[in-house]
Amino acid sequence: MASMKINNELSDGIILAELGGRLTQRRIARSLSQAALAAEAGVSKRTVERVEAGESVQLVTLVRLCRALGLMDGLDQWLPEAGPSPMALLKEKQAGKGRQRARSHRAASVMNPGGKPWTWGDSSS
């Protein structure tokens, strides 16, 4: 059975059938019978048959089978932990700096060409 790339265009039924086929391949590669996998995962043999046939099962069943087949790292890659949100990053950045007053552009414009502040009576302008 050749594997296909799972993507959004595939129907739920096709994806379940593909996942079932992949689990079957993993089970066979480990030289396990359906009954042995079921016992190791803590599910019934009929449940393993249903998963491998591409039928819908509870998520906990998939987790148990993946654990028994040593596929938990794959689940972590499948749905990785989300990083911090942009707002959380902004708040973290602001908390580290404390409040700072923005320098106005006008303050720079009252300087004399030599870089000295303008004072009353200064005739350099």
Domains, the chain:
12-78 (1.10.260.40)
- Which is nearest to 66 in space by CA: 45, 33, 40, 36? 40
The yes-or-no verdict on residue 7 having pLDDT over 60 is yes
Q: How many CB atoms lie within 10 A of CB 74?
A: 12
Residue 110 pLDDT level (bands cut at 50, 70, 90): low
According to the 3-state scheme, what is the secondary structure of 16-58? HHHHHHHHHHHHHHCCCCHHHHHHHHCCCHHHHHHHHCCCCCC
pLDDT score of 42: 97
- Per 3-state DSSP, what percentage of the chain is helix, strand, and coil (rounded to 5)? 55, 0, 45
Task: Average the pLDDT over 96-106 and give the result.
Answer: 60
Place of tokens 């302008």: 125
Mean of the per-residue pLDDT values of the chain = 83
pTM: 0.62
Among 38-42, 83-87, 100-104, which stretch is predicted with the lowest mean pLDDT?
100-104
pLDDT-based confidence at residue 123 (cuts at 50, 70, 90):
low
Residue 111 phi, psi (nearest 5): -85, 145
Length of the chain: 125
